[in-house]
C-alpha cells in the first residue's frame, strides 16, 4: 500500500493490517512530484524546544548615555528536575502485548503504540524571549536599543494532546494513534518492537496532530496547517506521517539524554529496514517519518535519490 492511498479508519476493531507484505526495505516509495514545503516551512524547524538560543536583535530608538555591550546576553534559566514536573513514566499503564498477538489486529497494534505513548514523558525545553530596553553609544551618538534576551525553560506539554482530542470529540488514543496513516503505523510497530527487543525502551511523545494541536506547539515549529504530523495541508486525520520517539531509560536528565541518543543512533542505523528515518537529524532528533515520503525526500539526500529513481531520473544508487 502506498502512503497516499490510505483511507480513513472506519472500524478500528475489525480492520487488519497485513504483515505478509514484502520487507519495508524494498517497499515501492511514494515519490514527491516536487519537494514541497517540509515540516520546517518558512525557514522554521518543527520542534517543541529542540534548538539552540538565538542571538539578540536590536532596534534603534531615542538616545540615552551608556556604553554599548559587545554582544546581547543569553541566559539559561534554572531547569526544574523532570521528576518535579511529571510523574514517573514507569507508573503509567503499560498493557504491552507480545508481537504475535498483534500480527493481524489493527486495534492491537494501536494499543501497543498507545502503551508506548503513555509511558513517555511529555517534557521539553523551549525558548522564552524577553525584550529589554538599554542605552548605548554608537558612532558617537547616544541611542536606545531593544535587546531580546533568550531564556531556556522546561515545559510540560502533557495537557496539549488531551485538549486537542477533546476539541476533536474523540478518545485520546483514537486521536493520537488513530490519526496516523495506517501503513506508517505498521512500520512504526515493527521498528518499535525491534527497539524494545534491543533494550532501548522506546516511547512516543507525539504522533498525530491536527491544526489546532499544532497551534499549541511551542518553540520553532511548522506552520499550523503544514505539519506532517497531520496538518490539513497534508491530508488531516488518518494521514499523519510523523512521530516523535524518545527512550524512557534513565533516572536523570543526563542518563535520559544518553539513552535518547542511543535510540536515535539505532534509528539511523536500522530504521531503513523498517521504512522509517529521521529527516532532520540533530535539528529535530526525535522526529521520524517514512523514508519514501515527501518530508524525508525533501530533507535527506538518500530520500531524494530514492524519489528521483522512482521518476526515472539518472541516479547511480537508490537508498544507501
pLDDT digits (tens, 9 = 90+) for 267-293: 999 999 999 999 999 889 999 999 999
Confidence of residue 256 (pLDDT cuts 50, 70, 90): very high
pLDDT in the model for residue 137: 86
H/E stretch holding 247 reads strand 243-247
Strands 141-156 and 123-138, how do they pair?
antiparallel
Write the CA distances from 128 to 4, 75, 139, 215, integer angstroms. Answer: 38, 10, 31, 17
| % of the chain at pLDDT higher than 90 | 47
Residue 244 has pLDDT above 70, yes or no: yes
**CB within 8 A of 75, min separation 6: which ones?**
149, 150, 151
Confidence of residue 247 (pLDDT cuts 50, 70, 90): very high
CB 318 within 8 A of CB 306: yes
Q: How many of the other CB atoms lie within 10 Å of CB of 169?
A: 7
pLDDT of residue 224 exceeding 70, the answer is yes
Characterize the bridge pairing of strands 287-290 and 276-277.
antiparallel
pLDDT band at 138 (very low <50, low <70, confident <90, very high): confident
User: In Å, how far are 50, 169, 205 from 242, measured between CA atoms?
Assistant: 16, 22, 11
Q: Is the pLDDT of residue 98 over 60?
A: no
**Model confidence at 72, in pLDDT bands (50, 70, 90)?**
very low
Q: Average pLDDT of 187-210? A: 97
As its CATH architecture, domain 13-21+36-51+93-123+157-310 has: 2-Layer Sandwich (3.30)
pLDDT at 3: 42
pLDDT band at 97 (very low <50, low <70, confident <90, very high): low
Can you state the angle between helices 182-197 and 106-118, rounded to 10 degrees? Answer: 60
- Contact (CB, 8 A) for 309 and 294: no
- C-alpha–C-alpha distance, residues 201 and 86, integer Å: 18
**Residue for grid cell 532501548:** 200
**Domain map (residue ranges) of the chain:** 13-21+36-51+93-123+157-310
pLDDT exceeds cutoff 60 at 266: yes
Among the residue ranges 90-99, 148-157, 273-282, the one predicted with the least confidence is 90-99
Amino acid at each position: 500500500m502506498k502512503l497516499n492511498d490510505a483511507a480513513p479508519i472506519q472500524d478500528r476493531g475489525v480492520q487488519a493490517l497485513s504483515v505478509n507484505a514484502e520487507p519495508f526495505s524494498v517497499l515501492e516509495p511514494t515519490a514527491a512530484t516536487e519537494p514541497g514545503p517540509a515540516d520546517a516551512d518558512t525557514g522554521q524547524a518543527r520542534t517543541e524546544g529542540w534548538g539552540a538560543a538565538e542571538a539578540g536583535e536590536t532596534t534603534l530608538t531615542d538616545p540615552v548615555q551608556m556604553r554599548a555591550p559587545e554582544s546581547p546576553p543569553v541566559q539559561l534559566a534554572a531547569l526544574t528536575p523532570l521528576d518535579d514536573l511529571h510523574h514517573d513514566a514507569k507508573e503509567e499503564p503499560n498493557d504491552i502485548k507480545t508481537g504475535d498477538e498483534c500480527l493481524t489486529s489493527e486495534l492491537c497494534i494501536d494499543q501497543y503504540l498507545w502503551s508506548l505513548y503513555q509511558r513517555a514523558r511529555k517534557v521539553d525545553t523551549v525558548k522564552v524571549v524577553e525584550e529589554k530596553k538599554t542605552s548605548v553609544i554608537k558612532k558617537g551618538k547616544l541611542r536606545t536599543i531593544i535587546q531580546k534576551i533568550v531564556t531556556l525553560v522546561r515545559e510540560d506539554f502533557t495537557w496539549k494532546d488531551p485538549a486537542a482530542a477533546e476539541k476533536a470529540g474523540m478518545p485520546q488514543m483514537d486521536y493520537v494513534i488513530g490519526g496516523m496513516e495506517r501503513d506508517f503505523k505498521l512500520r512504526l510497530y515493527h521498528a518499535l518492537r525491534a527497539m524494545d527487543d534491543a533494550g532501548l525502551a522506546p516511547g512516543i511523545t507525539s504522533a498525530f496532530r491536527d491544526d489546532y494541536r499544532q497551534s499549541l506547539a511551542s518553540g520553532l515549529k511548522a506552520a499550523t496547517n503544514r505539519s506532517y504530523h497531520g496538518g490539513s495541508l497534508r491530508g488531516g486525520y488518518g494521514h499523519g506521517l510523523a512521530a516523535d520517539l524518545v527512550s524512557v531509560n534513565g533516572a536523570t536528565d543526563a542518563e535520559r539524554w544518553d539513552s535518547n541518543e542511543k535510540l536515535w543512533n539505532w534509528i539511523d542505523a536500522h530504521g531503513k529496514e523498517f521504512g522509517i528515518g529521521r529527516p532532520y537529524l540533530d535539528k529535530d532528533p526525535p522526529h521520524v517519518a517514512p523514508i519514501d515520503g515527501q518530508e524525508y525526500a525533501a530533507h535527506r539526500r538518500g530520500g531524494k535519490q530514492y524519489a528521483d529513481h522512482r521518476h526515472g531520473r539518472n541516479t547511480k544508487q537508490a537508498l544507501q
